[in-house]
Structure 1
């Protein structure tokens, strides 16, 4: 294909090329503007490389990105503006993201403090959950493709290797060779599998490892044989390189990079939950590891290493449904009464059908407008600690494994607002809460349950007690 190299000042589809931002092997990025429409949001244009001898995957990937990006929305992806096909100059115009890539941050700082790594991990995992809910697996997460906005949000760019549930996978039709970036590519991607959302979890874990230690967990092998090693060989634990890495952060990172699929997080939201609640994170053997696994363990893994045929094609939504986050909001101000017991039954039913689901038990400790009510419990505990103990007692009958349940006391003036904020930040799938009987005060002020049902961005199950049968 003949294509003249674009120059500053050229106008393509009504967009003027102002500044060359980046020239890569597969495309160039330009800051662009629209003559006569000054003052609008800053834009960037992506133009694929179409010179003779270019990798055909650059063209196919560009076609994929043209199909996928218009279907995406929200703060975690660039806003689509316009696109042009191959009749003249193919291009993709999108929002310019104000922020800095993790690649630039790594180049400047080398490695980051654990608290900052965790904060970035939470933001990236929440962004990833949002992307997966839009039926897309990114499949090329790396520091260069993760932008950190000034407000702390994460935005992903470059969807040229991505897969959309509802679109043809042009890259898979072209080849079954590994596609991705060597240090971050998942084991199943090495085998040519492009249908696993957990591939993105693995890549994010590799990025968090690098942010923590300043090193890539598997190096940068350039041949498939070198990449195949991650099907059976675990990385050196982060704490062996960076002793300041706390056990809970190492647990999260190594769980993302686990060789055994059963050890992986069920969803990106579950990873975000673990990183944002480190005091609740159950610590397994990975948390204290300082060495890689021994010879015999690695040999057994190698002999049992999965093959491409072991992976079944499925939709992203199927993984999300099986890894739901369920919240049980229980009012314990008056102890465990009949309504609290009914909420427990419904919460148990919500998680028992999905082996990958986890339960967050939540109660709200109402605070005064100006100061926390520091009412002491029977044994001198603060109101907060007493309520936490009561919450754990309430959940004991569910008999859930420690890594499937957590406990949270929210201190708030407005219980409804606190619950809505909690389920929004933690990308909760299902909220179960009780509703007290009606009263004149509730009719006047409005009930917690009705406000939560109206505003919560998730499924809400309201548990009520049956009105007594008065006969007659």
Structure 2
């Protein structure tokens, strides 16, 4: 540290108030600025050991990346200073403590773990959409706003795909926190956003079981994750539901292609457990046997990084596609036209996650009738119809889900679902125009006006002719 820091010192208009923490590569101080009531912190790199360039490179990386980040899932950037006379970064101070404080309470109730995981997955998806991979996801780098959003901090190991990767340029070694590092990071690949999903899987495993899936390895021990599977979570904690084990072990797959394609898809499963497709992962109670482990070891000896994926292209080839289906008998032609449109989209975006939805409209004030004349649940009947509609789509079972929403306003329900689940594209149908629709406004026009993503509205040739009349 070039300056001897102390309370009351003023640096470029910021007054040091309180020393908050000292980490391996930085000090954190609470600071104030005249005529600014925003709670702020100032981060100083640890430059005591001039023989170690890593703190400087990590600090320069964070200096480059933080000014480009926006939104509720990152600290708001305020200012930065050069290495001479004193390097620093000023950012907003997030109230409270990091998720590291919960480590003393592990294992946590699985329902709380799911809530934490979904919030972090949403934060990661927002970060990835800004062209950044964090590459050091762990409890101490996660905080929560008073409004509930997860905030990702510390971008010293991060990679921005549109900026120079200083760590990769200056060093030839893996970087990260060893218990949380993805296999590709071990192989010095810093280009895959799914590395952050592996780290989140490690965190979920630890919060559920109280144990880290790969321990705390040192040196060459970190390569063991390339071939050694972890003890299944349910073997350590029988209270862990099979669907949650399915999610965790999928995040921990060695090959990124076998994990979730995006953090948004992971969040969708965490928030809709009834939609999780269970595979043999969910039933595992033991680690792989010796023969299988040996085969995996032989394969790992030849392991090389995958062809470096582009963050944007990875997200683009794995969008979440919301398909709203009208299941009324009079809309059969429209449902087929929507199916044809979805198939065309899937031909271009083969990794898409498809969420098939139908809205069961309810009354705002009257008592709703949710059963037919024979006492059968309308909700269940609609769900069966949805599954029948989607069964002919060429989509793997783990990438298609079905939901029936009950709401008084179908357009609001669809837009809200799209916003909460990071939907990238909505496909829905529109019936022929009519005087009533022109007066009240159609569902499709409301969705187009309010949706947070792109929307494709499908009409049949018959409806188009009627609308032109």
Inter-partner Cα distance in structure 1 for 2:368 and 2:347: 36
Question: Per the alignment, in what secondary structure is the counterpart of residue 38 of structure 2?
Answer: coil
Measure how far apart 1:100 and its partner are.
3.1
1:257 aligns with 2:252: yes
Are the equivalent residues in 2 in contact too, given 1:326–1:351 (CA < 8 A)? no
1:304 aligns with 2:299: yes
Aligned residue in 2 for 1:155: 151
Inter-partner Cα distance in structure 1 for 2:423 and 2:302: 34
In structure 2, the CA distance between the partners of 1:290 and 1:84, relative to structure 1 (3 Å rule), is: same
Aligned residues: 467
Measure how far apart 1:421 and its partner are.
0.5
Are the equivalent residues in 2 in contact too, given 1:365–1:412 (CA < 8 A)? yes
Aligned residue in 2 for 1:346: 341
Are the equivalent residues in 1 in contact too, given 2:189–2:305 (CA < 8 A)? no
Measure how far apart 1:471 and its partner are.
12
Measure how far apart 1:372 and its partner are.
5.7
Inter-partner Cα distance in structure 1 for 2:301 and 2:375: 55
Are the equivalent residues in 2 in contact too, given 1:18–1:30 (CA < 8 A)? yes
Aligned residue in 2 for 1:462: 457
Q: Deviations over 1:220-246 (max 9, x none)?
A: 1121x1000000111111111111110
Are the equivalent residues in 1 in contact too, given 2:79–2:90 (CA < 8 A)? yes
Are the equivalent residues in 2 in contact too, given 1:326–1:350 (CA < 8 A)? no
1:410 aligns with 2:408: no
Are the equivalent residues in 1 in contact too, given 2:187–2:305 (CA < 8 A)? no
Aligned residue in 1 for 2:49: 52
Inter-partner Cα distance in structure 1 for 2:298 and 2:366: 61
Q: Deviations over 1:301-349 (max 9, x none)?
A: 1111275644222320111011111111111234651111111111122
1:105 aligns with 2:102: yes
1:256-405 to 2 correspondences below 5 Å: 256-305=251-300, 309-334=304-329, 336-370=331-365, 373-377=368-372, 380-405=375-400
Are the equivalent residues in 2 in contact too, given 1:336–1:394 (CA < 8 A)? no
Aligned residue in 1 for 2:126: 130
**Among candidates 442, 451, 454, match of residue 446 of structure 2:** 451
Which deviates the most, 396-405 or 294-303?
A: 396-405
1:61 aligns with 2:32: no
Inter-partner Cα distance in structure 2 for 1:5 and 1:236: 48
Over aligned residue pairs, what C-alpha RMSD do you find? Answer: 1.9
Measure how far apart 1:423 and its partner are.
0.6
**Among candidates 223, 242, 250, match of residue 247 of structure 1:** 242
What's the TM-score, normalizing by structure 1? Answer: 0.95
Inter-partner Cα distance in structure 1 for 2:168 and 2:466: 63
Question: Per the alignment, in what secondary structure is the counterpart of residue 183 of structure 1?
Answer: helix
1:227 aligns with 2:222: yes
Which deviates the most, 397-406 or 195-204?
A: 397-406
**Among candidates 193, 199, 215, match of residue 203 of structure 1:** 199
Measure how far apart 1:398 and its partner are.
1.5
Q: Deviations over 1:390-429 (max 9, x none)?
A: 1112222224332121101011111111111101111011
In structure 2, the CA distance between the partners of 1:141 and 1:439, relative to structure 1 (3 Å rule), is: same
Question: Per the alignment, in what secondary structure is the counterpart of residue 248 of structure 2?
Answer: helix
Moved over 6 A (4+): 469-472
Q: Deviations over 1:357-411 (max 9, x none)?
A: 1211001110011356224237532111111111112222224332121101011
Are the equivalent residues in 1 in contact too, given 2:432–2:467 (CA < 8 A)? no
Aligned residue in 2 for 1:183: 179
Which deviates the most, 146-155 or 116-125?
A: 146-155
Aligned residue in 2 for 1:3: 2
In structure 2, the CA distance between the partners of 1:307 and 1:188, relative to structure 1 (3 Å rule), is: farther
Q: Deviations over 1:93-113 (max 9, x none)?
A: 001112431111222x22211
Unaligned runs of 5+ in 1: none
Are the equivalent residues in 1 in contact too, given 2:432–2:466 (CA < 8 A)? no
